[in-house]
Amino acid sequence: MVGFVLALGGMAGGQSAPSPTEAAMVKTVDAATPGAVELLEKLVDINSGTMNLAGVVRVKDVIAPQIEALGFTVRWNPMDKVGRAGDLVAEHPCPLRAGKCGKRLLLIGHMDTVFDAGSPFQKYEIVPGTNGRVATGPGTCDMKGGLVVMLDSLRAMQAAGVLKDTEITIVLSGDEEDAARPIAISRKDMIDAAKHSDVALEFENAFRDGGVDGVDAVRIGRRSSNTWHLETSGKSGHSSLVFGDRLGYGAIYELARIVEAFRTQLREPGLTYSVGLVLGGGKAVMDKDKTGGTATGKSNIVAATALANGDLRTVSEEQTARVKAKMEAIVAQHLALTDAKISFDEAYPSMAVTPASEALLAQLQDVNATLGFGVEEVTDPAGGGAGDISFVAPYVPGLVGVGAMGTGAHAVGEVVYLDSIPKQAKRMALLMYRLSEEK
Ligand SMILES: [Zn+2]
């Protein structure tokens, strides 16, 4: 998973001792840890698979009052119109005037999980033989642990008396694992909030290289996730006439030509693309949800139609645009008497690494030095999937995955390293405090 490791910040400067305010926040987090783990267990035991709308609302009902108690105004925006539960927007305005509380912070995350109400994976449990250090359950690291980290860090700031002088917006989606379309509706609150923020912190699960005793990691980029659909057609007839001037090559050879050209001509660093479904024959129809379909044909025909779909993951929007153009050019070079067209669905954009996000990372490494945590690894954006921060990345620099650490996200058996919860809460409390102190 770790493609390259950058060492940025916190290396030469050495350790700067925490200020009295920072030391107070560290103490608060330590004292709150048993309660934080209890909250995690409670949240994990509520099934909130994306399509279990009532379950997502129950998670919201647990955390909304806790966010309100921190002095935020909380709003619930139902998303029934797009078939999802809704999103939570919480605002903590600067008491002076907008923009007068240092950096305006946007905290994002999600309340749903990939485990639906029928999943066999429903309960929080300590993993036997780990000395109580590792817990398993749906959403333990992705990302109910992150919700706990977020609350924990804000509480530490409140107890130290510094939360009141901050300008923070929290947006938690209820459908990160299966975002409703159109994005213009389902991600409107997140995008609007990004437009009046200076820094985004995404409390998604974080990576620890080497397992529970490994090295903590963070990311400042995420790849895009795009979906493409390919449809080819040809003249059908008896197979003995294939390659000739009456029938040409048929739809399946045309599809094979395109897919093979993708394989050999598009490869470049940071880019992957896969073909996940192919149908073809005399007739081929893909289901509406594009996860299956039907095809009919036989061995002695030239195929009339063929369909394929796949993905395209990129590290920048420049790469997306360039590769899409190359794919379109390949598609256009039809074999004799065939036709083909490619289309792309609305995508998760990429979050490219920028100088602003590198500067933010350096500040995080300074916090690590203060806390005596050592330098965090920076993982390759290519290693992970797309996420909500991608929608806000065009407007604000951000850190990806500042929530709980663990492994196995999206699979039965997902785990969280429990010590990462207070660790990340300390990091985020100090980082948010320092950002709010900036003029
Ligand atoms: Zn997640």
Residue 423 Cα to ligand 1 midpoint, Å, equals 19
Residue 157 Cα to ligand 1 midpoint, Å, equals 25
> pLDDT tens-digit profile of 144-161?
999 999 999 999 999 999
SS3 418: coil
User: For residue 12, what pLDDT is reported?
Assistant: 40
As a whole number of angstroms, the distance between CA 91 and CA 425 comes to: 20
- Is the pLDDT assigned to residue 220 strictly greater than 80? yes
Mean pLDDT estimate for the chain: 94
- Which band of pLDDT confidence, cut at 50, 70 and 90, is reported for residue 380? confident
As a whole number of angstroms, the distance between CA 432 and CA 154 comes to: 9
Taking the domains of the chain in order of start, what are their residue ranges? 20-223+350-437, 226-344
Q: Over range 41-45, report the average pLDDT.
A: 98
Residue 176 Cα to ligand 1 midpoint, Å, equals 7
Which has the higher per-residue pLDDT, 12 or 126?
126
Q: Give me the percent of the chain exceeding a pLDDT of 70.
A: 96
Residue 110 Cα to ligand 1 midpoint, Å, equals 7
User: For residue 75, what pLDDT is reported?
Assistant: 98
As a whole number of angstroms, the distance between CA 250 and CA 233 comes to: 7
Token pair in block for residue 430: 């100090």
- Is the pLDDT assigned to residue 6 strictly greater than 60? no
Reported as type and span, the H/E element at residue 126 is strand 125-126
Residue 101 Cα to ligand 1 midpoint, Å, equals 29
Which has the higher per-residue pLDDT, 2 or 131?
131
User: For residue 438, what pLDDT is reported?
Assistant: 93
User: For residue 14, what pLDDT is reported?
Assistant: 54
Lowest mean pLDDT among 7-21, 84-98, 202-216, 270-284: 7-21
Residue 196 Cα to ligand 1 midpoint, Å, equals 24
Q: Over range 216-241, report the average pLDDT.
A: 96
Phi, psi (5° rounding) for residue 2?
-95, 105
- Which band of pLDDT confidence, cut at 50, 70 and 90, is reported for residue 205? very high
Residue 163 Cα to ligand 1 midpoint, Å, equals 26
Neighbours of 183 (CB within 10 A): 17
Are 174 and 76 in contact by the 8 Å Cβ rule? The answer is no
CATH among 3.40.50.300, 3.40.630.10, 3.30.499.10, 2.60.300.12 for 20-223+350-437: 3.40.630.10
- Is the pLDDT assigned to residue 94 strictly greater than 80? yes
User: For residue 10, what pLDDT is reported?
Assistant: 38
Q: Give me the percent of the chain exceeding a pLDDT of 90.
A: 89
- Which band of pLDDT confidence, cut at 50, 70 and 90, is reported for residue 387? confident
User: For residue 53, what pLDDT is reported?
Assistant: 97
Residue 7 Cα to ligand 1 midpoint, Å, equals 26
Q: Identify the architecture of domain 226-344 in CATH.
A: 2-Layer Sandwich (3.30)
> Whole-model pTM?
0.86
CA distances from 206 to 58, 199, 281, 355, 403 (A): 25, 18, 45, 22, 6
User: For residue 290, what pLDDT is reported?
Assistant: 87
Residue 175 Cα to ligand 1 midpoint, Å, equals 10
User: For residue 384, what pLDDT is reported?
Assistant: 66
Residue 182 Cα to ligand 1 midpoint, Å, equals 20
Q: Over range 332-355, report the average pLDDT.
A: 94
Residue 156 Cα to ligand 1 midpoint, Å, equals 24
Residue 289 Cα to ligand 1 midpoint, Å, equals 22
Token pair in block for residue 88: 């939570």
As a whole number of angstroms, the distance between CA 163 and CA 250 comes to: 66
Residue 383 Cα to ligand 1 midpoint, Å, equals 14
Residue 315 Cα to ligand 1 midpoint, Å, equals 19
Token pair in block for residue 334: 């039809």
User: For residue 285, what pLDDT is reported?
Assistant: 97
